[in-house]
Chain A
């Protein structure tokens, strides 16, 4: 059951209605039951493997508090458990063929069946929980039901957002009052999310031919650039759309989930980009990798600690981020590039310090946004395709072919009738049209300074949005063009 289906909304709505009217003591068990039911619709095997991991983390969490004996042993065992779970389930493509050959038995299917959906998201949550408990930032959760909900809570189980345990438990125990303003906000978030997913992300993904990312050499640079920008917006709208939908649905239960995106392509440098892109994971990486590493370096006695601090934490942090997305050379290159971007920025700031971003001239801010966008887009190349193809893609981007416009020039001079629209032209026009609207939406959100910008539109415009959305949804229902959420695979 994916979160864009009517069935999901009916399911969530029914669950929320009953949740609202249940006595307090039944609310958490009900929410857990509903979450298990949701996961069950994906696969019953997920329920088993995830339950086992939840129980183990719960048990380990009870032994890692600072005052307890052997807490470090338990803590490292917990970290190892979660890393091992990711390695065993998620990266089995690396070792299973070898193991299968050794044992002369097909092994892959069993493990793939058991691999819980959203495992990477849960693993980082559990790791942060164990770290927070062991550092005394929070006490261990002794209620197994609440702890299970931390993993299973159905709006976020598939692809996050990554929640910090302390905040999530507080929200569970102290939910928002589900009143009219909250439901209004929920409706805006859901409609915005569906708009981003169904109207921008899926069509943009589908408008890019598969060969673009497998055989880039057969296309010209301008065409490849357009597809790359289209992919960048598709990826962003896909994940941002998903997050908005699940946040909106979560509000039906009075539970606020973390925001994940804040107009990342309007960032003026890469530090800002990572504060706006996949915010919940970026915060996790910042709090549990970057800052502790930086603190260690700055408290060392090395004379070069300033330089080391400028280089090592960004590279390691982005390396971990890359490995979280997948163990492959292309992902490492993607992470490495983002690490290098940040190092270059820090270096430039060190050599020629500049004031805060907001105080720089507007033209400079615009230029910085353009440069950051360009480099972020170029980095999506290894994110999307294997290393060899990525290198070829970059190379092909430089191969500019002058568009053949002589027929249009002749038509302009009334020498011949205008040529009919070709398939490629349709595709490019559709991409450009969608990009224009997607950019307008982002700029409008930026101007209104609120993710609820839709709420501030005139009613007629809102009605147009709803009608367009419904039309696209109806057409998508009868086609096979709904792309699965990209981050669902991580």
Chain B
């Protein structure tokens, strides 16, 4: 091949070099980012761009993350992180639990609700590891339920968490993308607009904004929905097209081995000095009406108790579901703003009694077991 005099298309001679312009553009872009970074770090723009993001597809997860960061900055740390799915999010008021626990034990602990919609044991395992590494809580109170252990259930959510560049960076897989978003506050604020070109952007941004407002500094999100009593007490019917897929999903219920492994992964965090406890939200009995086998739930409880106790942890028994009034539920498994304080009070009592009677106490973030 021979670079020769082959005629090139004629071009009007430009006044300046476009390549140089590109370089200048790059520098201007860098300078603008630097200026943004400085203003965000000085907290000058925070009120204008209140929503932050690390590029995760799960906006509620991101909100919880930043709330936790703010909480730790404000209170100097976190002692107990309660983690689970949406039932935890709207069902547990950390302040109420902490106060009741303090009444019974004399120890005032800093508790944060990290309930995030759609989490199952697989994604909880990923997050627990991250939270322990980065926020050093003394105790993890993990909420789990039967459906967490169905094969493949929630794997897509776990995979989405893992696919995120920032999360990859957190778990030790270095990437430029992950590094930048982790270290740049300006980018975290700008990323709230990353879906600007999606048709539902404004709706989802507004939802995120309002949810952020509705979420307390302790991570609890108040559910103001009125209960639909009929839907709570309605017995599931396999012939109902709405119920049929759930019946199919729960048929021949069995805990999947990979889910049990995820549970064991959470339990293994005890080796890092974290106390790991488990419990369940008191759902209305119709929630279990989808299981074809009446023995499924007792068998599940036996198995999970055995796994947890073998690992030296403890499964806090679920309180009697009937202690939560019907108007304290928004459906047959979520508690609303009436039910959440009631349950949180019970939970505080359970934890206090556990500490006083069995010496299984919540551990503060310093690592020392407060009596």
B196 nearest in chain A by CB position: A475
Q: Does A174 contact B (CB under 8 A)?
A: yes
In the bound complex, CA of A383 to CA of B238 (Å): 42
List B residues 152-200 near A (Cβ within 8 Å). Answer: 165, 177, 181, 187, 190-191, 193-200
Contact A176 B3 (CB under 8 A): yes
State whether A187 and B4 are in contact (beta carbons under 8 Å apart), knowing that A207-B197, A466-B26, A478-B194 are contacts in the complex.
Answer: no
B194→A475 contact, CB < 8 A:
yes
Q: Does B295 contact A (CB under 8 A)?
A: no
| Residue contact A175 to B3, C-beta cutoff 8 Å | yes
What does the 1/0 interface line of A145-177 toward B look like (CB < 8 Å)? 000000000000000000000000001111111
Question: A347: CB under 8 A from chain B?
Answer: no
- Measured CB to CB, the closest approach of chain A to B169, in angstroms, equals 12
A191 CA / B36 CA spacing, docked (Å)? 25
B23-34 Cβ-contact flags toward A at 8 Å (1 or 0)? 011101100100
Indicate if the CB atoms of A24 and B21 lie closer than 8 Å. Answer: no
Is B75 engaged at the interface, CB distance under 8 Å to the other chain?
no
Among candidates A173, A466, A478, residue contacting B177 with C-beta atoms closer than 8 Å: A478
A-contact bits for B180-224, CB 8 A (1 contact / 0 none): 010000010011011111111111001000000000000000000
**A-B CB contacts (within 8 Å), total count:** 133
* Range class of the A interface residue count: 35 or more
- Inter-chain contacts of B18 with A (CB < 8 A): 184, 187-188, 191, 454-455, 462
- Chain B residue at minimum C-beta to C-beta distance from A426: B202
Q: Residues 24-52 of chain A: 1 if any B CB is under 8 Å from the residue's CB, otherwise 0?
A: 10011000000000000000000000000
Kindly identify which residue among A171, A183, A463, A476 contacts B24, using a CB–CB cutoff of 8 Å.
A463
With A454-B18, A475-B191 as contacts: A480 and B25 at CB distance below 8 Å = no
Instruction: Please tell me if the beta carbons of A467 and B1 are within 8 angstroms of each other in the complex.
Output: no
Taken together as a complex, chains A and B put the C-alpha atoms of A203 and B198 apart, in Å, by: 7
A window 181-219: CB within 8 A of B: 181-185, 187-188, 191, 202-204, 206-209
Q: In the complex the two chains form, is A481's CB within 8 Å of B198's CB?
A: yes
Q: Is the CB of B32 within 8 A of A27?
A: no
Q: Distance (Å) between the CB of A214 and the closest chain B CB?
A: 14
Q: A28: which B residues are within 8 A, CB to CB? A: 1
Contact (Cβ within 8 A) A456 B12: yes
Q: Does A410 contact B (CB under 8 A)?
A: no
Q: Does B74 contact A (CB under 8 A)?
A: no
- Contact present for A27 and B1 (CB under 8 Å): yes
Q: Summarize A's interface: helix, strand, loop or mixed.
A: helix
CB neighbours (8 Å) of B25 from chain A are 462-463, 465-467, 470
Count of residues in B whose CB is under 8 Å from the partner chain: 44
Question: Which residue on B lies nearest to A465, using beta carbons?
Answer: B25
Let me know if B26 and A478 touch, CB within 8 A: no
- A422 contact set on B, CB distance < 8 A: 202
Residue of A nearest to B193 (CB): A475
Complex alpha-carbon distance, A422 and B2, angstroms: 61
Given A455-B18, A456-B12, A481-B3 contact (CB < 8 Å): no
Contact A206 B199 (CB under 8 A): yes
In angstroms, Cα B17 to Cα A474, docked, is 25
Tell me if A455 and B11 are in contact (CB < 8 A): yes
Bound form: Cα–Cα A476–B194 in Å = 6
Chain B residues near A173 (CB, 8 Å)?
A: 1-2
Q: Mark B93-121, 1 if CB is under 8 A from A, else 0.
A: 00000000000000000000000000000
B22 at the interface (CB under 8 A from A): yes
Are A24 and B8 interface neighbours, CB within 8 A?
A: no
Are A174's CB and B6's CB within 8 A?
Answer: yes
Q: Is B77 an interface residue (CB 8 A)?
A: no
Would you call A382 an interface residue if the criterion is a C-beta within 8 Å of the partner chain's C-beta atoms?
no
Whether the pair A172, B1 counts as a contact (CB closer than 8 A) is yes
User: Most A CB atoms within 10 A — which of B4, B9, B198?
Assistant: B198
A145 CA / B200 CA spacing, docked (Å)? 50
User: Which residues of chain B are within 8 angstroms of A208 by Cβ–Cβ distance?
Assistant: 199
Q: How far apart are the CA atoms of A465 and B200 in the complex, in Å?
A: 26
Q: Across the interface, do A206 and B2 meet the contact criterion of CB distance under 8 Å? A: no
B19 interfacial contact with A, CB 8 Å: yes
Most buried by B among A203, A463, A476: A463
* Contact assessment for A423 and B29 in the assembled complex, using a CB-CB cutoff below 8 Å: no
| CB closest residue in chain B, given A455 | B14
State which of B17, B21, B190, B195 has its C-beta within 8 Å of the C-beta of A466: B21
Cα distance, A462 to B29, chains bound together (Å): 13
Q: Are A427 and B8 neighbours in the complex by a CB distance under 8 Å?
A: no
B55 within 8 A of partner (CB): yes
CB distance from B61 to the nearest CB of A (A): 15
A174's contact among B4, B8, B29, B177, by CB below 8 Å, is which? B4
Interface residue? A414 (CB, 8 A):
no
Bound-state CA distance A178–B2 (Å) is 11
By a CB distance below 8 angstroms, the chain B residues around A479 are: 55, 194-195
A450 within 8 A of B: yes
B48 shortest CB reach to chain A, Å: 17
Nearest CB in chain A to that of B207: its residue: A423
Judging by beta carbons under 8 Å apart, are B198 and A207 in contact? yes
| A352, B277: Cα distance in complex, Å | 87
Q: Smallest Cβ distance from A194 to chain B, in angstroms? A: 11
In the complex, what's the smallest C-beta–C-beta distance from B211 to chain A, in angstroms? 16
- Chain A's closest residue to B190 (CB) is A475
Beyond contacts A204-B197, A467-B28, A475-B190: 14 other A-B pairs, Cβ-Cβ < 8 A, are A176-B3, A176-B6, A176-B8, A187-B18, A207-B198, A207-B199, A209-B200, A459-B16, A463-B21, A467-B25, A475-B191, A478-B194, A479-B55, A479-B194
Interface residue ranges, A against B (CB under 8 Å): 24, 27-28, 171-178, 181-185, 187-188, 191, 202-204, 206-209, 254, 421-423, 426-427, 430, 450, 452, 454-456, 459, 462-463, 465-467, 470-471, 474-481
Q: List 29 A-B contacts (CB under 8 A).
A: A175-B1, A175-B6, A176-B8, A177-B5, A178-B3, A182-B8, A183-B19, A184-B18, A187-B22, A188-B18, A204-B197, A207-B198, A254-B3, A423-B206, A427-B200, A452-B11, A454-B18, A455-B11, A455-B12, A456-B12, A456-B14, A459-B16, A466-B25, A466-B29, A467-B29, A471-B29, A474-B187, A475-B196, A481-B198
Q: 7 nearest interchain CB pairs? A: A466-B25, A203-B197, A478-B55, A423-B203, A426-B202, A479-B194, A177-B3
